[in-house]
Amino acid sequence: RHDLVSAQQLDTEAVLHQIKLATAFQNGLQIKLRRPVYAMNLFFENSTRTHTSFEMAEQRLGIGVIGFQASDSSMTKGESLLDTLKTIQAIGVDLAVIRHSKNAYYEPILAEQLTLSLINAGDGSGEHPSQSLLDMMTINQAFGHFSGLKVGIIGDIAHSRVARSNAELLTKLGARVAFAGPDSWFPVEFSQFGPHVTVDEIVDQADVVMLLRVQHERLSTEMEEGFNASEYHERFGLTAERVERLQPQTIIMHPGPVNRGVEIDSDLVESPHSRIFQQMSNGMYMRMAIIADILSAKNLIEPIELGV
């Protein structure tokens, strides 16, 4: 099978290869399809960046993009996701990009041995591998390496698929990860990747400060009722006061969407430390790389020459 569902399936070599391929696309690399190829983007949770950049990537690779809206599909009549995928495969779709609120929604699909390839564009609080790869590309552009880099991930770790995928890849690549945010949003399983420290420790020491949005759509009613945005900003946000203490080389990252004034002071989104919009640009090239790699493995494109 040729799919990308989890950062766990990527080793160091695979990540560095994807960065190299995405950079080649950024520098104008083009591919040649051996036959018409079709993709469908099935988003069962809202998205701006991931959905748009996958569609842009597909169009730039010359792939036919077949429209899909969950609300006007036959899933509203009770058809399962698996039967929907079998259906679009029968009609001729080669590649499905799926975002879904259910963690590991892809497991029963992978068990079915479909010929259709699957890219996970985010599963609940599980994983977001394409975001993680574009984040690795952005960090590599800033530092040229990962070994020994100090990366602080701040915020709603418990509900963040970005935190999980990034912690996985960063530790594999040799970076040192630490987390900060409310204690109750730090699941014990994340301790395998790094310690839970204070926001101020991260601000004082990190090379990369990665902020996360509070995922209100995944909070319990009790958590939601106890949440106060300005209090959160003061205790856990990147404030105008805290940013003064960053080291000159430190970059600020955020997967988006940003809640300005909550996890980050609004003015800092465009600060010289920020790579937030660069992450979004990189996302399109990284998604071209992810798709091209899958098409290459399926022998659907002419060989890509990347050089040494």
Output the known binding site for L-aspartate.
Answer: 77, 161, 213
Evaluate the omega torsion of the peptide bond into residue 36 and state whether it is cis, within 30 degrees of 0: no
CA distance 243 to 71: 43
Closer Cβ to ligand CP, 23 or 50, answer by number: 50
Residue with smaller CB distance to ligand CP, 162 or 173:
162
Residue 84 vs 131, nearer CB to ligand CP: 131
What residues make contact with ligand CP under the rule CB under 6 A?
47-51, 122, 131, 255-257
Compute the distance between CA of residue 308 and CA of residue 305 in angstroms, rounded to an integer: 9
Nearer to ligand CP, 135 or 293 (CB): 135
As measured in angstroms, the least distance from the Cβ of 200 to ligand CP is 26
Residue closer to ligand CP, measured from CB, 51 or 218: 51
Looking up tokens 């590991």 gives 104
Q: Closest approach of Cβ 148 to ligand CP, in Å?
A: 27
Q: Which residues are annotated as a binding site?
A: 49-50, 77, 99, 128, 131, 161, 213, 256-257
User: From the CB of residue 8, how many other CB atoms can be counted at a distance below 10 Å?
Assistant: 13
**SS3 of 64, please?**
strand
What's the helix, strand, coil split of the chain in %, to 5? 45, 15, 40
CA distance 202 to 151: 8
Question: In terms of C-beta density within 10 A (0-12 exposed, 13-18 middle, 19 or more buried), how is residue 75 classed?
Answer: middle
Q: How far is the CB of 254 from ligand CP (least distance, A)?
A: 9
* In the complex, minimum distance from the CB of residue 286 to ligand CP, in angstroms, rounded to a whole number: 12
Closest separation in Å from C-beta 19 to ligand CP: 18
